[in-house]
């Protein structure tokens, strides 16, 4: 995306690092050129009418692209169209940088089989990006499924040129982490796949055998591949202090969706940033029975929000945290500055001279956030 000519967003309620201030932002050459204080609207400036102006949101983990690719069971929507629609949806809800989550590591042989898809989809996304078809900044987040058959060959198909920014270690073996309550897993799998009791037992046994056979070597491989890509490492669904201790030993500094207060407290002690789902916060609890995001926010154990499966939840959740904490700048930082810092993006996530001009203008109408404008490197995209 080419930088645009000078733009001034004036008479705005600016969300700056650690403070809220009425003022204006001048954009030039795709960067933030200057920040001024006061409600004045210079000639040619856009009068924001006291709307919030904040950094563009940074999404580290979203499954939203998969929803566009498969809008109904067994429907494979044309991928280019799906990617473009996903990109436009994110721009429209204020997300200007996204790490698109794609699973690597498949189980093509089991009853509830799932096959490799990430390499092909990533190539299509990167080709559209190179062709200028996308509005916002896209990176890849490879979700490395430890309990799988094909992880080595799937990860080997990626390289440093693929914009892999995050590799998360996923372990969905029944009986632990996200699936520690096998009764919940049973209800989910029997509803989704029409399993009989016997088929469900066989499925669980097969996955546990797969974990025993491949788990240790897959963990080692995923760590090595993340280093090869130059990607940040993340854990997923840490449940116990022991899980967190292993993560810390592996060099992990980002924990996605810890499932218990114990795990979140252990992350804080180890200096590992805690990311929780905005839908969890907005709904008042986890849909899978794990710890509520609000229960971590209260004692200060929540650092970053992710929209997870509802893109519009990201901005809504950040504003909800701002209200909960009585500190709007702190709430917005969970979806701007904190995720940027967690993945080493020093050029964005804050309104400061020299930063990328990734900005959004937001009004709150009837309690709901409305994105009235979004700019990526100074170019308006929504």
Same-domain pairing of 151 and 16:
no
Same-domain pairing of 228 and 377:
no
Q: What is the CATH number of the domain that holds 51?
A: 2.30.40.10
Same-domain pairing of 136 and 34:
no
Same-domain pairing of 140 and 220:
yes
Is the pLDDT reported for residue 108 higher than 90? no
pLDDT tier at 110 (50, 70, 90 boundaries)? Answer: low
Q: How many domains does the chain have?
A: 2
What is the value of pTM for the model shown?
0.91
CB 69 within 8 A of CB 77: yes
Tens-place pLDDT, residues 257-309? 999 999 999 999 999 999 999 999 999 988 667 899 999 999 999 999 999 99
* Alpha helices (runs of H) in 19-78, residue ranges in sequence order: 64-69
Tens-place pLDDT, residues 161-210? 999 999 999 986 665 656 666 666 655 555 555 667 676 677 677 777 77
Same-domain pairing of 179 and 285:
yes
| pLDDT score for 82 | 98
User: H or E element: which one contains 211?
Assistant: helix 197-229
Closest to 31 (Cα-Cα) out of 51, 2, 58: 2
| pLDDT score for 1 | 53
Same-domain pairing of 253 and 160:
yes
Tens-place pLDDT, residues 136-152? 999 999 999 988 889 99
Domain span holding position 257:
56-349
Same-domain pairing of 211 and 323:
yes
Same-domain pairing of 219 and 286:
yes
Q: What is the CATH number of the domain that holds 294?
A: 3.20.20.140
How confident is the model over 100-114, as a mean pLDDT?
79
Tens-place pLDDT, residues 346-365? 999 999 999 999 999 999 99
Question: Where are the strands (E) in the chain, listed by range?
Answer: 7-16, 19-28, 31-37, 46-47, 52-55, 57-62, 95-104, 137-145, 164-170, 232-236, 254-256, 273-277, 304-306, 359-365, 368-376, 379-380
Same-domain pairing of 100 and 233:
yes
Same-domain pairing of 50 and 168:
no
Please count the other Cβ atoms lying within 10 Å of the Cβ belonging to residue 85.
17
Tens-place pLDDT, residues 51-89? 999 999 999 999 999 999 999 988 999 999 999 999 999
CB 350 within 8 A of CB 25: no
Tell me the C-alpha to C-alpha distance, in Å, between residue 190 and each of 82, 194, 200, 297. 29, 5, 7, 34
Same-domain pairing of 316 and 365:
no
Least confident segment among 15-24, 63-72, 98-107, 196-205: 196-205
Same-domain pairing of 34 and 162:
no
């Amino acid at each position: 995306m080419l930088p645009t000519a000078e733009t001034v967003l004036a008479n705005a309620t600016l969300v700056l690092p650690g403070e809220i201030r009425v003022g204006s932002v001048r954009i030039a050459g795709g960067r933030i050129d200057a920040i001024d204080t006061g409600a004045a609207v210079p000639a040619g400036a856009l009068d924001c009418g006291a709307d919030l102006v904040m950094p563009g949101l940074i999404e580290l983990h979203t499954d939203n692209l998969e929803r566009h690719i498969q809008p109904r069971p067994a429907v494979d929507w044309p991928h280019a169209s799906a990617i473009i629609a996903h990109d436009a949806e994110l721009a429209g809800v204020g997300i200007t940088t996204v790490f698109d989550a794609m699973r690597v590591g498949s189980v093509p042989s089991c009853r509830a089989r799932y096959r490799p898809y990430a390499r092909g989809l990533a190539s299509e996304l990167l080709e559209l990006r190179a062709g200028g078809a996308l509005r916002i900044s896209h990176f890849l987040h490879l979700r490395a499924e430890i309990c799988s058959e094909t992880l080595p060959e799937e990860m080997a198909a990626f390289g440093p040129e693929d914009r892999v920014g995050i590799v998360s270690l996923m372990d969905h073996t029944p009986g632990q982490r996200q699936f520690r309550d096998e009764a919940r897993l049973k209800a989910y799998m029997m509803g989704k796949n029409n399993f009989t009791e016997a088929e469900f037992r066989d499925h669980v046994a097969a996955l546990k055998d797969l974990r025993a056979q491949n788990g240790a070597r897959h963990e080692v491989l995923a760590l090595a591949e993340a280093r090869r890509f130059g990607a940040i490492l993340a854990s997923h669904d840490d449940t116990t202090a022991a899980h967190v201790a292993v993560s810390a030993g592996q060099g992990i500094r980002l924990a996605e969706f810890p499932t218990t207060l114990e795990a979140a407290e252990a992350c804080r002690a180890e200096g590992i940033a805690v990311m929780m789902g905005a839908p969890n916060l907005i709904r008042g609890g986890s849909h899978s029975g794990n710890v509520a995001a609000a229960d971590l926010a209260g004692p200060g154990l929540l650092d970053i929000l992710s929209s997870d499966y509802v893109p519009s939840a990201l901005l809504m959740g950040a504003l909800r945290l701002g209200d909960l904490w009585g500190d709007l700048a702190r709430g917005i930082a969970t979806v701007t500055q904190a995720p940027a810092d967690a993945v080493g993006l020093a050029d964005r996530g804050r309104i400061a001279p020299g930063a990328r001009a990734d900005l959004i203008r937001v009004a709150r109408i009837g309690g709901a956030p409305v994105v009235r404008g979004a700019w990526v490197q100074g170019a308006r995209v929504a």
